[in-house]
Amino acid sequence: MIAADLIAENISWGPYKNQPLLLHPTSFELKAGQVLGVVGPNGAGKSTLLRMIYRYQNPLTGRIFVDGDDIWSIPPRAAARKVAAVLQEQHTSFGLTVREVVTLGRTPHRLGFSTPGDRDSEIVDDAMSQLDLHKIAYRDVQTLSGGERQRVMVARALAQQPQVLVLDEPTNHLDIRHQLEILALIRNLDLTIVVSLHDLNMAADVCDVVLLLEAGHAKGFGAPDEVLTETHVSEAFRVQARSEYLSPSNTKHLSFHLPE
Ligand code: ADP
């Protein structure tokens, strides 16, 4: 896997003409291998931003470059070799086994209707090992727990061998152990990653840079310490945020209260 630079240049999106945009022009640059956390309250525009990056919703303005290529001006299959996504609800696996779903990740790399070859099998095996899926390789995906299914979706995305991985709230519905496992995996992958997260402490822990969105506007982009300040978080989420250092690790921790 080879991570690549990701550049978003003034990207915006809205469903209707002459209506307010759901995401106002937003720009940022990620270096190869960086992890970007997209945070903000419900409805802030996080999924809208992510959809443009994984080539689902065409930006109204602006461009997105991965490794120098404008992902909206190359063929969809070529874009799928650059960007993979792990979404919250993917209902594409009816009746398929874990291994079959992970193998779907190879589709953008295959010619026409050719069947998977040895190299594809090796890559699928490797992705399944990374996510510890061999024990359940022949289970119907429908019978899996939420955490197991999430791991399958990540393995499928890895089998796609992208340069950029987009994850939309990957810790949703997972218990704490599985949340930590997914975050540890994200941190260790040699990919450029864009991940939306609700938990700001987790975002600060796992991300190199954070983009804070509020009502479709970027309110901050930079190192977690610079962006996730008491003031920014309190304003964006309309709460009272308090930042304190936890001993013995001396890590910063945000806690939240409703304003009086
Ligand atoms: P977030 O992921 O931060 O919760 P979203 O990007 O899903 O926010 O949505 C931002 C806002 O845009 C929300 O108010 C949502 O209801 C609205 N929205 C999202 N997609 C569409 C659409 N296709 N048409 C109309 N409104 C939409």
The residues spanned by each domain of the chain are: 1-82+162-224, 94-160
pLDDT (mean) for 176-191: 89
Instruction: Please tell me whether residue 63 adopts helix, strand or coil conformation.
Output: strand
What confidence tens digit (pLDDT) does each residue in 122-171 have? 999 999 999 999 999 999 999 998 888 889 999 999 999 999 999 999 98
Question: Could you give the CA distance from residue 248 to residue 235 in angstroms, rounded to a whole number?
Answer: 30
Ligand 1 centroid distance, CA of 23 (Å): 9
Q: Is a pLDDT exceeding 80 seen at residue 173?
A: no
Which pLDDT score, from 0 to 100, does residue 90 have? Answer: 64
* Closest protein CA for atom 15 of ligand 1: 43
Residue reference for tokens 């022009």: 25
Which pLDDT score, from 0 to 100, does residue 203 have? Answer: 96
| Ligand 1: nearest atom to the Cα of 213 | 3
Which pLDDT score, from 0 to 100, does residue 1 have? Answer: 61
What confidence tens digit (pLDDT) does each residue in 72-108 have? 999 999 999 999 999 976 666 678 999 999 999 999 9
Average confidence score pLDDT of the chain? 92
Confidence of residue 200 (pLDDT cuts 50, 70, 90): very high
* Closest protein CA for atom 26 of ligand 1: 15
Q: Which fold has domain 1-82+162-224?
A: Rossmann fold (3.40.50)
Contact 97, 62 (CB under 8 A): no
Pairing of β 251-257 and β 240-246: antiparallel
Ligand 1 centroid distance, CA of 197 (Å): 16
| Ligand 1: nearest atom to the Cα of 45 | 6
Ligand 1 centroid distance, CA of 119 (Å): 40
Pairing of β 23-30 and β 69-70: unpaired
* Closest protein CA for atom 18 of ligand 1: 22
* Closest protein CA for atom 20 of ligand 1: 48
Ligand 1 centroid distance, CA of 246 (Å): 35
| Ligand 1: nearest atom to the Cα of 22 | 12
Ligand 1 centroid distance, CA of 91 (Å): 20
Rg (CA), the chain: 19
Question: Which residues are near ligand 1 (CB < 6 Å)?
Answer: 15, 22, 40, 42-48
Contact 94, 118 (CB under 8 A): no
What confidence tens digit (pLDDT) does each residue in 211-253 have? 999 999 999 999 999 999 999 999 999 999 999 888 777 788 9
Which pLDDT score, from 0 to 100, does residue 186 have? Answer: 87
Ligand 1 centroid distance, CA of 216 (Å): 9
pLDDT (mean) for 18-31: 95
Mutate to test the pocket of ligand 1, among 12, 22, 87, 198 (most ligand atoms within 8 A of CB): 22
pLDDT (mean) for 14-20: 87
- Residue 17 to residues 3, 13, 14, 20, 60, Cα–Cα distance (Å): 36, 10, 8, 8, 10
Residue 107, amino acid: T
